[in-house]
Each structure stands twice: as C-alpha cells, then as structure tokens.
Structure 1
Amino acid sequence: MKVFSYEELKSATNNFSPDTVVGKGVLGQVFKGWLNEKTLSPARPNSGFGMAVAIKKLNPESTQGFQEWQSEVNFLGNLTHPNLIKLLGYCWDDDELLLVYEFMPKGSLNNHLFRRNPNLETLSWNTRLKIAIGAARALAFLHASEKQVIFRDFKSSHILLDKNYIAKITDFGLAKLGPAGGQSHVTTRVIGTYGYAAPEFVATGHLYVKSDVYGFGVVLLEMLTGKQALDTDRPTGQHNLVEWAKPFLFSKGKLKTIMDAMIEDQYSPKAAWQAAQLTLKCLKPNPNFRPSMKDVLEELEVIEAILEKKLKVFSYADLKSATKNFRHDTVVGEGGFGIVYKGWLDEKTLTPVRAGFGKVVAIKKLKPDSMQGILEWQSEVYFLGMLSHPNLVKLLGYCRDDDDKLLLVYEFMPKGSLNNHLFRRNPNLEPLSWNTRLKIAIGAARALAFLHASEKQVIYRDFKASHILLDRNYNAKISDFGLAKLGPYEGQSHVTTRVMGTSGYAAPEYVATGHLYVKSDVYGFGVVLLEMLTSMRAIDANRPTGQHNLVEWTEPFLSSETKLKTIMDPKIKGQYSPKAAMQAAQLTLKCLQPRPNQRPSMQNVLEELEAINAIHPEKVQGI
C-alpha cells in the first residue's frame, strides 16, 4: 500500500472540490480523485489522464472515525480477493485521515435497489443474482481465511459495483477477528446498522461468524423486494422489512405479492421460490441453524445455473415412472454416492414414456444419507448448468424433492465409460483400436482445454477413465462434476481445498499440500493416457509387488522405444507406427511432470494429440 501525503490527495481531488464528492456518511466524505496509473502520483482532475480513485476523508473530530480508519487499513491491507474493494493506500497527516480505494463506477447496491438516482437503470434479476453471488464469495472468503474475519456490518450500501456490476464489499471499519480456538463467538460492543444486525448480537453483544449470514439474508430480501430493510415511510407494521415480509416467504402465492414489480417476468417461479427459501434459512433467529456462507454461495450458484440453461425441474414421480419405479433391471451403473438408471422420456416434452419409446436418458439417484452427495449434486447442477461443450455430457434437468431425493438427468451414453472398455469389465466389449483411443483422448483433451479457458476457469479435479463416457460413435464426453472447483482468482496460482479425488490419478502437489492448480488436471490426463497406451489400471493391487502404481512402475519405460514395446497393450499391436507411440509416450511424460509449472497446458496437449493423430501407421509390423 502506498502512503500518500495530504498534499497529493488534495491535488488529486482539485482541493477536495465539492463537485468531486461522490458519497457522504457520518464519518466523512468520499471524493473522486485522479492518480497516475503507474506511480499513483496525482493527475489532473477530469483531464481524462490517469485513473479514477475514491478518496475517503474522515471527519477529524470523530473518535469512532479513527478506530474505523485503523480497522480498514488493517483488514484491507492484509486481505485480497476479487470481491473485496482494493485499498490502494492511505494518508495520516496530523489530524487528517484518508483512505484511497479503486473507484467503483456503478456505485453502491442500495443506490440501484432504492433508486436514489432516478437516472440509474433498474437491476435485472440476473444482475441481482450475479451481485448476490459476488458478495457471498467475499463473505465466504472472509469466514474461511486463516485469521477468520466477521464483517459485522453487512448491508446493501457496503456492496459496491464495478463497471460490469461485479460486487465488491467495502467498509471494514466495524470488522472483527473471529472467535479464538474453541470459542463460538466474540463479545463486543453492539454497533452496526439496525435492520441488518443479527438478533443475538443486538440482544447480547455476542457476535458469531453466522451473524454475517443474517445480514446477508436481509440484503437478499432487499434484492427480492426492492424495499429497504428499514423504512418509516412504509405503513405501520411494515417499517421493519424482515418482520413484515418473512411470513410471505413461506408461500409461493404470497411471495409473488412482495417480489419487486420492476423484475416481473424476468425469473422463473422456481428460482424465486428457491431464493426465498434460502433467505429464510439465513434469517433463522438462532445462529446455529443458519447455513454457512459457503453453503449459501453454493445454493445461489445452483439457482444461477438453472437460469442459464433453463434446466428442466423434474418431479420425483416423473423419474420414478421413467425408470419403471427404479427397477433393478434399469440399473446401468453404481458409485459411492448413488445409482445410475436408464430411463425413457418424451423427446420434446421430457415427460416420462413407456420403456422402449421416446428418448433414452441416464438418471443418477443419490444416496439420501450422503452429505458429500448433496454437495456433489449442487456442484454438478452448477457446472453442467452453466457450461456447454460437445465433449461435456449434457445435463437435461434435476429433481430435488426435499434433501432425501436428489436426482440428475443426463443424455444417455450408449457405449458406457472408457474404463469399462480399457479394462474389459464386460467380456463382450471389443478392444478399442489405436485410432479410437486417440479419438477419445482428443475429445477428452478438448473438454479439459475448454474448462481451463472458460470465463469462469474450472478445475475438474477428479479426471479418470471412469469419468469419460462414450456416445454411439465413440465421441468422448466427460461427466461427474461433483468435485470440480472454480480456478484461482486473478493473481493467484492455485486454490487451497480439502484433498479429495482418486488415488493414482490425483496430482502429487495436490495430495501433499491441498494446493489445486489448473495443471493438476493435466497430471490426471497423463495417467489416463498411460492407461490407454497400456490397458492397465492406474492402481491395481493384483499386479506383482512394485507394479501396483502404474505411473511409478512404468514411467522409466516411457523414455525408451525398446522398453515402451514391453508395456504397450498387445491388443493394438500393428495398429500404430513406432513414431506415434513414442510421441504419445513423450506427451504422457510431460503431463506427469512432478511440478505443475513444468506440465503443458491442456491446449498444448490437445495440439500434440492432433499431430500424433495425423501420423499414419507404416505398413510394417507394429511395435
């Protein structure tokens, strides 16, 4: 952070000219200023040169102002996240206390919601949802940070919007470090904003991490209704938004009557209802019964995904009928979190039809007692609802009938998984030819390259042969996004997360540290390439001692053409040229480099595979 002189900030704001004022509060004023982009020295105001910044000048007579200034510098000086406002520097010059932030051209959420400026456009339903997700990400980050932070004064005026309506939370003046080990709360002076502050904090001064969740629930309610948390201009009995509106959130019919009329017809009743139910969870009187901000974020992302792809919401009865009451002879797969059934739906309406008619679909029914299953269900709906690519399996819809009936409906992949073909789970399956294996590898590489390059960069996290499904023409589509994660934020190299995945495929840096890189997926791809070359599983305890782990055992064989012959799958002998096999082995080695920054990108992997595919087998004996 830069330490500014008072003279610099005076110059940047044209001597704190009244026409540069962009905000005013109890503790001071906010001015628009201009600084040189590189040096952060003052630039001529309104000259079009340099970058606009927000300069908060605190009232020098306010004791509370000094404490809030210190808090702001301490917290924003140590925390970085795309949904937190960026503090560029500060000034402490005798009695003058100032803070310099990035400038947020769209102003605050409350100005938009409550039309403080009649020239502001009404926020659409989609934009409100985007803002809610951004703010939820910020709070989830604060609550999960090493020094857990409670924001304490979460409200719509503390959510600022950049030019693309990306939300960033500001004003850390009342933020507190979370409870020390073993404690449930912090006891502190009651200070905050009436109407947003959680009841337990107002009543006792006990501040919990989930006190922030209550404030988030109030802001969600403001976003649904377009009404302020507290407004004495409303009729008697309606001054406090939560007390008045809460009963309306329990009924779909009543909910319509309080939804903001400015966004009518922009959302599905299902999405509004889910948002209302989430609001109710956040507003629980007892903090222990509120969800964590991580759970809130996941629910909001599910609602967003439903909107983006208009996924069909199935009833449990529909899917029961489509699978002949989940009959045993319709089972096509089974995993840790549930069973996959074959079902039949009408091609156009997606309503259930008699077996053998209409369109075949795959219906995954999750085990009701699996907490991990619920999280994976949410992740799958979010990612496959948001993303579309020819090499990703298509999610057609879902069913959530309470938390004990969670189902997902996909396009059906008649050739099953790559895993089944490579390791001959079904003896009637023909061995995959060299050309088909290459085709599958190219399709899967396209999918991962797409995920890594998408706007919301996605790390798949659990890439393995059983997650590559094949259509009737052996086109590969990757499925099972239950463990997928959004990639690192700007400037970060990795995401830190709980180690989950499959032994033998998970990258060494992830297993050792929980640090998940985009190129952790490349390692998993390398393991699958090795399985395709050898038709041997990544982990197999039935192999001789020293050969259980495929990568550890075969890696030395990949550098020598002679040694490579000894581990290549004999079922594809004579189908490829030695040059193609050697290039595939070299690519596999690159993917399996121990350090992520030494591995190629998936785009590079894809290009190398396409080059190998162009090599035609010579008319000689194969390796």
Structure 2
Amino acid sequence: MGCFGCFALEADYGDEDVKPSKPDDSSGADARRKVAPDVANGYAHSFTFKDLLVATGYFNEANFIGEGGFGKVYKGKINGQMVAVKQLCQDGVQGRNEFLVEVLMLTVLNHPNLVSLVGFCAQGDERLLVYEYMPFGSLESQLFDVPLGKKPLDWNTRVRIAVGVAEGLSYLHNVADPPVIYRDMKAANILLGEDFSPKLSDFGLAKVGPVGDRTHVSTRVMGTYGYCAPDYVVSGKLTMKSDIYSFGVLLLELITGRRIYDASRPKPEQSLLTWSRPFLHDKRKFYRLADPALLGCYPSSALNQLVVISIMCLQDQPHVRPIIADVVIGPPTTWPKPSDVGGAQEKGAAPGRALEAPREFTLAELRAATRGFKPEMVLGEGGFGRVYKGWVHERTLNPAKSSTGIIVAVKKLNPESVQGLQEWQSEVNFLGRLSHPNLVRLLGYCGEDRELLLVYEFMIKGSLENHLFRRGTTEPLPWGTRLKIAIGAARGLAFLHSSEKQVIYRDFKASNILLDSDFTAKLSDFGLAKNGPSAGRSHVTTRIIGTYGYAAPEYVATGHLYVKSDVYGFGVVLLELLTGLRAHDPNRPSHQQNLVEWARPFLSGRGKLTSLMDQRLGGQYPQKAALQAARLANKCLAGDPRSRPSMADVVDALEGIDAQQVPAGAKGHRDLPPRPAARRSPYHDSSRPR
C-alpha cells in the first residue's frame, strides 16, 4: 500500500470548483459513463454536484436512507449500480478535514470488510461521498429496537459479523502500511451487505497509527460515548488497543442485543458495561448475557468464547488487551484436506503425516470413556484443569472397556479458568490442522454444556520434565536418549516454523515435551501458539505470556515475538538436557538460580564444560559431541534473535553430532532406552506463570 502522503485529490478547497475527471458540463448520461473508479491504483472518481443530483433524484426524500453527524445519506443509481450518497451538512460538526481523511483512507485501503468508495464531490461548498450500496443498512438498525414481526439476527449471523469486523480491523492494524487506527468502531458504522457480510464505514476519524519506536499518537479525544477506551479518554493517547476496546464493546452488544448506552432502560441498566459487570465476573452467569431474542438458540461454548474475548478486549489497561490477531472467533467447522497440511517444507523439517480431522466428541462419550471423570482416573493437573485417563476403541474412538480399547488422555477445562477458553480454541485450531511425527496427536475435542475438553493420544513415558528433574523416581536418561529427544523436539519445532502458515510455538519447555514408548519426543500444549508474522514483517506483537526462564529476552522486554524466540527456548531445553538442571530453580544458590545466566560462560570450552555436565551421566558421553551440543545451545541463546540459527540448521547440527558417534551401519544410541518411568502424568503441567 502506498504512503498516504503521496496521494493527492484533484481538489481545491478555495472558491474555485473542483476539476471533474471529465468536462464540467458532464451530467446525466455522462455521469453514467463515468463510474469506473480504479481504487486499487489509488484513484477515486470525481463527480460534479449535478451528477449526484441526477443520481439521487435531486435528493428526493423517497431515497433518504439515514442521517448522522456528517449529514444525510441517500440512495441513488449510477450506470445501473446502486450507490449510497452521503451529503455533508455545511454547518455540520464534522468538517472538511474529515471529508478529506475519508477520501484518502478509502481510496488507498482495499479489503472485503471495508466499504468501497465509488467517488466524491468537492465542488464549491458541497462535500459528498459516494459508496457502494449496502442493502441491509447498518448493524445498529438490525440489532437494536427490532420492530415486531421482524426476525432478529440469529446467532450464526452475529458470529459472522463479529468475524468480518475482526478481519477488517486486522487489515487496518497489520496489513495497511502505515497501520491505521479506526477510532470510531460502533454498530452504526458497521454496514451489512449481501448475506449480512459486514463492512467498516465512516473513516472520518481514522488516524495513521504510530510508526517506528512510538507507541501511540496524541490527538484530541473524539469518538462515540461508551465505545472510547478509558485510557484514550483520560490521556488523549491513541493506540491500536483503543480500537480493541471498542471492538469489545461491539462484541458485548452483539451478545446481548443491548446498546452501549440506552436512556430508555431503567437506570441500573442504562449503561451496558455497568449492567453486565456482575455476569462478566462469573463464568456460571455468562448465559444471562445472551440476547433474549435468541430464544436460547446458540451453542453454550460459543457464547462463552465470545464473552471471554469481550472481557479480554474491555480490560482497563491497554497492554493487557489482546492484539486483533489474537482474537479467534468460532470453533473450526471445516478441516483442511491432507494435501493442505504442512505446506512448503524447509530443510530439516520431516514431512507431516496425512491429517485426519479431530473428532467432535459428546460430553456423554467422554464421561463414559473416563468412568465419569472419577478421581482415580486423574493423570495430572495444571493451569488448564485436570487430565484424565480414558479408554476408546482404536478404530472408532467410541468409549470402550479397558480390556478392549486404547488409552487416551482427556484434558478437561477448569470452569473457573477464563484464559483456558482461549487456549482451548488455540489448541483445537493448531493441532487440528498440523500433523507431524514430533507433534502430539489431537484425537478430538468437546465443547458442550459449558464444558471444554481435549482428547490426545496417550504418551506412556510422560514428559521430559519428569525424566530430567524427578530425582529418585526414574533412571537418569543416558546420553544417546537425550540426544534423540533433542533431535525429535527440534524436528517438531522446525516443522512448525516451515509450515505454510508459519507457527510460533511460544511455550517450548521440558514439561511440554512428551515421550512415547521409544522416547520419541512430541511437542504438546499449543494453547499459547501464535501464527507467525505476515509477509514483510519480522515479528508479531502480543502480550507477554509463557514460562519464566524459557522466554526469549527480546520478547520479555518488548512483547515482540519472533520465530527465533522459539529457538531461544530450544537452547534452554538443550542446556537442561546437558546439565540435568531446571531453567530456573529458587532452591539453588542465588547466582545459579537462572540456568542460562550461570551456565553460558561454561559453554565455550572443553575444560569448563565437564563441571557443567549432568553428574548422573557418570562421564558416559562423547566429550566432542557434548562440546558441540553445548556450543549449539550457546548459539541458540544469543541475545540478538538475528544471531540465532534457524531450527532447520539446529536439526542439521544435531543430526551431524549424532552421525559422528555412530559407526557405519549401526543404529547409534537409540537402542539404549532406560527403564520405564514411574507412573506419573505425562500431561503434568508444573505451575506456569501467565
């Protein structure tokens, strides 16, 4: 997209008339010939006032559509095309500057969820804008004060509108260059086309977003009462997160069918935010927010999800609100074909297997598989909730008796966990479309009766964390097994980074690496995973969550998440494999509590490395291989993400280390598995800071 500063209108805001794109006497039939705007090339059509008089039947009241702060809007027809003509009140509050901003923005911006500008008129004192015609009017007119006999918007339509609005906002924030802050998100500005597809309109208040190191733009406070973010109202500092707050208000309106402020209601209910607050703070009361006009016709899990997203967007502190790219609305309804999975493969990333769509289980099926979620079936517990052992038929995945079925792990959301709902959605979305020998397999999911569950293949050896750090319960992992685990985990991470839709794992740690019967490593827990940066961008910006000790320093300091942020996390785990020590352990002496800070000086030399290696190995490891692995870890832990290797290069390096110590024709250290681990949850999640 071109720079706004390079675009100029053919207009003079003095007393002279604007030069039209054709001779000044063109009107009527000429006007019909003139409608062919080339928006993609930064061109909007310049109409004369007479053209638009004819198109609207001289602004006939029969063609009147609506009225706002800008002025009146009329429908008209030009060259057989229905259009909407917005006429600026000459004494209106919104003035010429906003007219100019609207033309500039909608001429340069182009997306299916932004209204299209057909043209404009700036002749004398007249200021008019010509848009594509939207047959269903505004969301405001369809959502509020629905007359008797008219069918209200159903749940699926409301969700489609929310998704479309989010996509339009994502385009403004993430694709437009420079980014654009909409600043006037509200139901009246969401127009509805065929099939109720939403389009953002009215860009008169839009602002070019901050660039470079700036975090905000300072401007006078403008917008609509109730939709404006409190931090913007107080300080005048406008950020992308100001739009996120307004989006949260819009979501709440879609859920409840109530206006953000309605003076016709009883006083305690006039402010939507005040009325809804008691329900937003208690997940068990989310259902009371639902618009009565829906008559209960909505999936409870989908309602809960939209409520949670609105809660996140409506946070008072802007840095706590998600970026629009973090907003995921609606469970997946279609799954990719096997040929769609994986995309282009980067060197070092093993090909993914054919993908089978995860099954949608009923709650009754999972209750039967886990024997009613009995306490004795609990495998472990974490921030998400509890993990239960279950039995299903191997082929059908129907509930089975223990003697005839296979074991699965059923992860059940804690009803009090608000964040868990977002992570459940992320897990289903990512593991539903990704498949690889080094990713744990998602067998299915369930979202029913306010319950959210995930069903995985059962990993009999548990987590890497259990084997490395649970002293006295397992035999120490020998060198060959540690190297095998490192290679498997690296291959899984390389696959994520090289898939068609690049994925940043964001939570690489020992407790998330699960081990099968042969100690093959599989990455699990995709609740924090993120889609990688779009073309031309080096990073995505997001709120900082993850596990202390594993998170890359640039991400902790700035919230900028790079693909190479995962490489840092891998370097930490590789260091744990070498030393047998946790990334962070408050029980160690103060100067040794942070493993990376303490260990990095030992990684460069052979003599120093001996004192760093896990003493439980008893010196039974190839010193050259250990030194090469330590130097690789050191590269992964570089402070500058650009200095870290790619995961494909990491895979190559580890496989090279493995090949050096294996005689020709031998299988290397992979035939030396330790004694099976003591029984412990493979999904045990040590408390992870959020």
TM value normalised by structure 2: 0.60
Deviation at 1:389, TM superposition (A): 2.1
Find 1:55's aligned residue among 27, 30, 44.
Answer: 44
Find 2:363's aligned residue among 294, 316, 319.
Answer: 316
Deviation at 1:544, TM superposition (A): 2.9
**Other-structure match for 1:250:** 296
Q: Which structure 2 residues correspond to residues 327-366 of structure 1 after superposition, within 5 A?
A: 327-366=374-413
Tell whether the 8 Å contact from 1:3 to 1:91 is kept in structure 2 after alignment: no
Tell whether the 8 Å contact from 1:53 to 1:100 is kept in structure 2 after alignment: no
For CA contacts below 8 A with separation 6 or more, give which structure has more relative contact order.
2
Find 1:484's aligned residue among 529, 533, 538.
Answer: 529
| 1:458 aligned onto 2:503 | yes
| 1:537 aligned onto 2:582 | yes
| 1:150 aligned onto 2:184 | yes
1:212-238 Cα offsets, whole Å, 9 max, x none, are xxxxxxxxxxxxxxxxxxxxxxxxxxx
Give the secondary structure class of the aligned counterpart of 2:461: coil
Tell whether the 8 Å contact from 1:415 to 1:470 is kept in structure 2 after alignment: yes
**Other-structure match for 2:635:** 590
Tell whether the 8 Å contact from 1:302 to 1:382 is kept in structure 2 after alignment: no
1:429-455 Cα offsets, whole Å, 9 max, x none, are 333232222222122122222222333
Give the secondary structure class of the aligned counterpart of 1:528: helix
**Other-structure match for 1:33:** 38
Deviation at 1:600, TM superposition (A): 1.7
**Other-structure match for 2:231:** 181
**Other-structure match for 2:466:** 420
1:329-366 Cα offsets, whole Å, 9 max, x none, are 32222212322111101223222112232121001122
- Give, as a single letter, the amino acid of the residue that structure 1 aligns with 2:576: E
**Other-structure match for 1:396:** 443
- In structure 2, what is the Cα distance between the partners aligned to 1:411 and 1:476? 13
Q: 1:540 to 1:84 in 2, by over 3 A?
A: farther
Deviation at 1:181, TM superposition (A): 3.4
Q: Which is further off, 595-604 or 582-591? A: 595-604
- Give, as a single letter, the amino acid of the residue that structure 2 aligns with 1:181: D
- In structure 2, what is the Cα distance between the partners aligned to 1:482 and 1:129? 22
Q: 1:368 to 1:96 in 2, by over 3 A?
A: same
Find 2:539's aligned residue among 494, 503, 510.
Answer: 494
| 1:503 aligned onto 2:556 | no
Deviation at 1:423, TM superposition (A): 1.7
**Other-structure match for 1:223:** none
1:398-422 Cα offsets, whole Å, 9 max, x none, are 223333x322111111111111111
Q: 1:552 to 1:333 in 2, by over 3 A?
A: same
Give the secondary structure class of the aligned counterpart of 2:409: strand
Q: 1:147 to 1:396 in 2, by over 3 A?
A: same
- In structure 2, what is the Cα distance between the partners aligned to 1:68 and 1:385? 45
Give the secondary structure class of the aligned counterpart of 1:614: helix
Tell whether the 8 Å contact from 1:379 to 1:482 is kept in structure 2 after alignment: yes
Find 2:422's aligned residue among 375, 378, 395.
Answer: 375
Tell whether the 8 Å contact from 1:505 to 1:527 is kept in structure 2 after alignment: yes
Q: 1:130 to 1:151 in 2, by over 3 A?
A: closer
1:457-482 Cα offsets, whole Å, 9 max, x none, are 32211110100011122221111112
Q: Which structure 2 residues correspond to residues 265-284 of structure 1 after superposition, within 5 A?
A: none
Tell whether the 8 Å contact from 2:189 to 2:201 is kept in structure 1 after alignment: no
Give the secondary structure class of the aligned counterpart of 1:333: strand
- In structure 1, what is the Cα distance between the partners aligned to 2:258 and 2:45? 28
Tell whether the 8 Å contact from 1:140 to 1:293 is kept in structure 2 after alignment: no
Deviation at 1:554, TM superposition (A): 0.8
- In structure 1, what is the Cα distance between the partners aligned to 2:296 and 2:440? 36
Unaligned segments of structure 1, at least 5 residues: 35-50, 102-106, 112-125, 187-194, 211-244, 253-269
Give the secondary structure class of the aligned counterpart of 1:506: coil
Unaligned segments of structure 2, at least 5 residues: 12-17, 50-86, 137-155, 207-221, 235-241, 244-252, 265-269, 274-290, 337-355, 670-690
Q: Percent identity?
A: 49
Deviation at 1:563, TM superposition (A): 0.7
Give the secondary structure class of the aligned counterpart of 2:331: helix
**Other-structure match for 2:647:** 602
Q: Which is further off, 473-482 or 371-380? A: 371-380
Find 1:69's aligned residue among 99, 118, 121.
Answer: 99
- In structure 2, what is the Cα distance between the partners aligned to 1:202 and 1:59? 40
Aligned length: 513
Give the secondary structure class of the aligned counterpart of 2:411: strand
Deviation at 1:155, TM superposition (A): 3.6
Tell whether the 8 Å contact from 1:414 to 1:470 is kept in structure 2 after alignment: yes
Find 1:136's aligned residue among 156, 161, 166.
Answer: 166
**Other-structure match for 2:77:** none
Tell whether the 8 Å contact from 2:42 to 2:107 is kept in structure 1 after alignment: no
Q: 1:84 to 1:566 in 2, by over 3 A?
A: farther
Give the secondary structure class of the aligned counterpart of 2:439: coil
**Other-structure match for 2:83:** none
Tell whether the 8 Å contact from 2:182 to 2:203 is kept in structure 1 after alignment: no
Find 2:514's aligned residue among 469, 477, 480.
Answer: 469
Q: 1:93 to 1:304 in 2, by over 3 A?
A: farther
Find 1:580's aligned residue among 607, 617, 625.
Answer: 625
Tell whether the 8 Å contact from 2:464 to 2:515 is kept in structure 1 after alignment: yes
TM value normalised by structure 1: 0.66
Q: 1:520 to 1:110 in 2, by over 3 A?
A: farther
- Give, as a single letter, the amino acid of the residue that structure 2 aligns with 1:577: P
Q: In angstroms, what is the RMSD of aligned CA positions?
A: 5.7
**Other-structure match for 1:238:** none
Q: Which is further off, 382-391 or 526-535? A: 382-391
1:105-137 Cα offsets, whole Å, 9 max, x none, are xx99979xxxxxxxxxxxxxx9x9999645314
**Other-structure match for 2:343:** none
- In structure 2, what is the Cα distance between the partners aligned to 1:368 and 1:394? 24
| 1:526 aligned onto 2:571 | yes
Tell whether the 8 Å contact from 1:108 to 1:159 is kept in structure 2 after alignment: no
- In structure 2, what is the Cα distance between the partners aligned to 1:136 and 1:390? 34
- Give, as a single letter, the amino acid of the residue that structure 1 aligns with 2:38: G
- In structure 2, what is the Cα distance between the partners aligned to 1:326 and 1:109? 51
- In structure 1, what is the Cα distance between the partners aligned to 2:108 and 2:551? 32
- Give, as a single letter, the amino acid of the residue that structure 1 aligns with 2:434: L
Q: 1:331 to 1:6 in 2, by over 3 A?
A: closer
- Give, as a single letter, the amino acid of the residue that structure 1 aligns with 2:413: L
| 1:409 aligned onto 2:455 | yes
Deviation at 1:95, TM superposition (A): 8.0
- Give, as a single letter, the amino acid of the residue that structure 1 aligns with 2:203: F
